[in-house]
């Protein structure tokens, strides 16, 4: 136990004191704080200048748009459209001329076969399809009203036939499928979890490979057992990962508070305190699983170059849930989500997706955590067994078969 503690202490000190760790753990929050201070200073001096810089809307043009109606359909302009917003032109040439002299920002051409084809041509010098598709709703509205003989009420009903009042009979508050948060909240949680677990686990790979390369490992093995070393390293680097996460999230949270924005998520989106607790549990378990796997990589690969390529094989099970995240957010209690949240290698990340998306039955949480804990125990045992001279010194190139054999103890 004593030796595990000294491994733990040494590992924390060495990792935390490394300049690159400080750069990333402190640099990222520092840069964001600096950016925040700079932006708020700028904003104080010239209000709205920052918002304008990041604005997604091009400067609202006071100028009108033109239209050339060859179909003869447009007889009235509905009252909801300001009179100055649209100018009619008799021909394309006239509209083009007005565009050249800057009288209008662009024009629409409604061809004579509009009724059959539905074609509308929008000519604009900045060629911006996205805002063109957005802004064209006004000319489309004018056309709709005129097609329906000027009946604005019918046109608005046809435009939007339903103003729906949704009545959910589900026992728990349901999330609105249209709300972007329904997707982005679980997505952000999953991605953050994925990054944190992988980042912390890769510290272990680095640490093992380094000590293997410079042969310190062999000397260490003389006085401590592989399991003591592995447990010490896993706990130490897990703590370092946690520290880094707390630093980042803490900065993010305080910046949000400073900027005056409080979290006012709709009730269906608020994550309960238990989410934090389960988050910690699943982080620790997921981290321990991937850290042991990374350590096994470290023991098997001949050098760091091979290691970074072999990592891909190990993290593949974590990438799969990311690929299917859309499905799992849509059906967080479906078969796929349930299966992946119980399978130990994907469980930690998928369970967090589900927790952020819906309420998960307690027995599933407990079963998943139990299965992961069991996996951790097994993995630590097996991986510790891999720290033997013949494995460490073989210098053979790494491949999947060797990893599986080593994990099964048959190498």
Partner 1 sequence: MHKFWRVSAYEYQRHVLRSRFLFVLLSVPGLILVMAVVGLLISQAHQSDRPLGYVDHSGLLASPLPAPELDSSNRRVPLLPFQTEAEAQTALQSKEIQAYYVLPQDYRQTGHADLVFIESPSSDAEQEFADFLRVNLMSGQPEPVAQRLIRGDNLTVSTPDGSRSMSQNDWFNIFTPFVTGLAFIIAIFTTSGYLLQAVVEEKENRTIEILLTSVSFFQMMGGKIIGIIGVGLTQIIVWISVAVIGVLIGRNYFELLRAVHISPGFIGLMLAVMLPSFVLIAALMAAVGATVTEAREGQQVTGLFTLPVMIPYWFSFQIMSNPNGPLAVALSYFPLTAPVAVTMRAGFTYLAPGEILLSVGILSLSALGALWLAGRALRLGLLSYGQRVNLRELVGRSK
Per CB under 8 A, which of residues 308..367 are in contact with partner 1? 308-309, 323-324, 326-327, 330-331, 336
Per CB under 8 A, 148 contacts partner 1: yes
Q: Which of 2, 48, 62, 169 binds partner 1 (CB under 8 A)?
A: 169
DSSP secondary structure string for all residues of 32-78? HHHHHHHHHHHHHHSTTHHHHHT-SS-----SEEEEEESS-------
DSSP, residue by residue, 7-38: HHHHHHHHHHHSHHHHHHHHHHHHHHHHHHHH
Structure tokens at 171: 């026992």
| Residue among 98, 304, 371, 373 that touches partner 1 (CB under 8 A) | 304
Nearer to partner 1, 1 or 17 (CB): 17
Binding string, residues 275-294; x marks residues near partner 1 by CB under 8 A: --------------------
Contact 290, 315 (CB under 8 A): yes
The CB-of-382 to partner 1 minimum distance in angstroms stands at 25
- Can you give the length of the chain in residues? 411
From 128, 225, 270, 396, residue interacting with partner 1 (rule: CB under 8 A) = 128
* Nearer to partner 1 (CB atom), residue 12 or residue 324: 324
Beta pairing, strands 86-88 & 104-110: unpaired
- Among 210, 227, 381, 388, which residue interacts with partner 1 (rule: CB under 8 A)? 210
Count interface residues toward partner 1 (CB under 8 A): 74
> Which CB atom, from 334 or from 409, has the smaller least distance to partner 1?
334
373 binds partner 1 (CB under 8 A): no
Shortest distance, position 381 Cβ to partner 1, whole Å: 28
Q: Between residues 129 and 260, which has the closer beta carbon with respect to partner 1?
A: 129
CB of 34 to partner 1, least distance (A): 15
Residues 399, 314 contacting (CB under 8 angstroms): no
> Which of these ranges, 124-132, 232-240, 248-256, 284-292, lies near partner 1 under the rule CB under 8 A?
124-132
Encoding tokens for residue 398? 């790494």
- If one asks whether residue 199 binds partner 1 (CB under 8 A), the answer comes out as no
Q: Does 9 bind partner 1 (CB under 8 A)?
A: no
Please report whether residue 181 would count as binding partner 1 according to CB under 8 A. Answer: no
To the nearest whole angstrom, how small is the minimum distance from the Cβ of residue 21 to partner 1? Answer: 8
Rounded Cα gap, residues 125 and 135, in angstroms: 15
Q: How far is the CB of 164 from partner 1 (least distance, A)?
A: 5
Task: Name the residue nearer to partner 1 (CB basis): 53 or 363.
Answer: 53
Rule CB under 8 A: choose which of 12, 24, 242, 371 binds partner 1. Answer: 24
Q: Which of residues 62-121 bind partner 1 (CB under 8 A)?
A: 96, 99, 114-121
CA pair distance 320, 374, nearest whole angstrom: 22
- Interatomic CA distance for residues 341 and 266, integer angstroms: 26
Q: What is the dihedral of CA 142, 148, 153, 158, to 10 degrees?
A: -90
Q: Which residue in 1, 127, 363, 390 binds partner 1 (CB under 8 A)?
A: 127
CB-based contact 344:372 (threshold 8 Å): yes
Contact by Cβ (8 Å): 89, 97: no
CA distance 101 to 124: 13
The residue from 48, 84, 126, 408 that contacts partner 1 (CB under 8 A) is 126
CB of 96 to partner 1, least distance (A): 6
Minimum CB separation of residue 69 from partner 1 in Å reads: 14
Of the residues 17, 46, 101, 164, which one makes contact with partner 1 according to CB under 8 A: 164
Question: Tokens standing for 327?
Answer: 């499905």
Q: Are 136 and 108 in contact (CB under 8 A)?
A: yes
Q: Which is nearer to partner 1, 124 or 381 (CB)?
A: 124
C-beta atoms surrounding 249 within 10 Å: 13
Would you count residue 219 as binding partner 1 (CB under 8 A)? no
SS (H, E, C) 202-237: HHHHHHHHHHHHCCHHHHHHHHCCHHHHHHHHHHHH
């Amino acid at each position: 136990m004593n030796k595990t503690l000294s491994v733990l202490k040494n590992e924390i000190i060495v990792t935390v004191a490394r300049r690159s760790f400080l750069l990333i753990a402190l640099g990222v929050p520092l840069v964001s704080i600096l950016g925040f201070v700079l932006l708020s200073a700028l904003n104080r001096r010239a209000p709205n200048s920052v918002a304008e810089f990041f604005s997604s809307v091009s400067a609202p043009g006071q100028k009108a748009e033109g239209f050339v109606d060859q179909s003869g359909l447009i007889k009235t302009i509905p009252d909801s459209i300001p009179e100055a917003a649209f100018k009619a032109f008799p021909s394309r040439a006239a509209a083009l001329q007005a565009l050249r002299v800057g009288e209008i920002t662009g024009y629409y051409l409604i061809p004579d076969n509009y009724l059959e084809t539905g074609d509308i041509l929008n000519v604009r010098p900045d060629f911006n399809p996205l805002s063109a598709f957005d802004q064209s709703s006004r000319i489309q509205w004018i056309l709709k009203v005129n097609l329906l003989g000027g009946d604005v009420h019918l046109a608005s009903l046809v435009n939007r036939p339903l103003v729906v009042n949704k009545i959910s009979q589900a026992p728990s508050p349901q999330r609105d499928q249209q709300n972007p948060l329904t997707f982005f909240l679980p997505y952000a949680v999953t991605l953050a979890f994925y990054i944190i677990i992988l980042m912390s686990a890769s510290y272990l790979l680095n640490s093992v490979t380094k000590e293997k390369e410079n042969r310190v490992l062999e000397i260490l093995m003389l006085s401590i057992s592989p399991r003591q070393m592995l447990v010490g390293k896993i706990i130490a680097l897990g703590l370092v990962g946690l520290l880094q996460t707390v630093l980042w999230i803490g900065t993010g949270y305080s910046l949000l508070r400073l900027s005056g924005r409080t979290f006012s998520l709709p009730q269906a989106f608020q994550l309960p305190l238990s989410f934090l607790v389960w988050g910690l549990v699943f982080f620790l378990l997921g981290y321990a699983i991937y850290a042991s796997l990374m350590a096994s990589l470290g023991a098997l690969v001949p050098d760091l170059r091979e290691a970074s390529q072999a990592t891909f094989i190990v993290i593949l099970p974590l990438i799969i849930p990311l690929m299917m995240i859309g499905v799992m957010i849509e059906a967080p209690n479906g078969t796929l989500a349930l299966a992946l949240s119980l399978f130990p290698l994907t469980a930690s990340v998928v369970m967090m997706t589900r927790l952020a998306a819906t309420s998960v039955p307690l027995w599933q949480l407990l079963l998943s955590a139990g299965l992961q804990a069991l996996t951790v125990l097994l993995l630590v045992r097996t991986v510790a067994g891999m720290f033997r001279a013949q494995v460490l010194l073989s210098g053979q190139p790494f491949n999947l078969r060797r990893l599986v054999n080593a994990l099964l103890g048959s190498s």
